Amino acid sequence: MFDWLVKPVYADVKIIDVFGPIKNAVSFTTLGGLVSVIIPNILTLAGIVSFIGIIYFGIQYISHAGAGEGEKIAKDQQAFTGALIGLMIIFGAYFILKIVSTLIGYDFLNPTI
């Protein structure tokens, strides 16, 4: 009687392609192509780890300095200095990589294969 009020609803079925990202994966023909893709990721990860280390050991240094724990202060200061030097090495590697890529003419940080 009131069929004209109720409209039929059909499910919208979408097929999800699980293997889509695998099909679009890049195959590397040379070792240089693989390395030029890995380098930016390693620099990013190392920078994040070093930055977190600087924050963590800086907080530890401050907390142990307030408590007056001499041995822990020295260890925290060495760890903080090591994380800071590591971050400076990462930035140095990045800038050297940019200089080399400018001289050679190939952008290692944005590779085109």
Of the pLDDT bands very low, low, confident and very high (cuts 50, 70, 90), residue 4 is low
Residue 37 lies in a domain: yes
Residue 25 covered by a domain: no
**Other CB atoms within 10 A of residue 93 CB:** 15
Contact 60, 76 (CB under 8 A): yes
Give the other-Cβ count within 10 Å of 34's Cβ.
15
9-18, 40-49, 66-75: which has the minimum mean pLDDT? 9-18
Tell me the torsion sign for CA atoms 40, 43, 49, 51: negative
The pLDDT score that the predictor gives to residue 7 is 65
Domain span at 65: 32-103
Q: How far apart are CA 40 and CA 46, in angstroms?
A: 10
For 19-37, what is each residue's pLDDT tens digit? 565 555 566 777 777 777 7
95 belongs to a structural domain: yes
Residue 113 lies in a domain: no
Tell me the two tokens of residue 24: 């679009």
Retrieve residue 48's tokens: 């994040």
Higher-confidence position of 14 and 46: 46
**43 inside domain:** yes
Query: What are the DSSP E strand ranges found in 1-113?
Result: none
The amino acid that residue 17 corresponds to is D
Number of domains in the chain: 1
Its pTM stands at 0.61
> Does any domain span residue 80?
yes
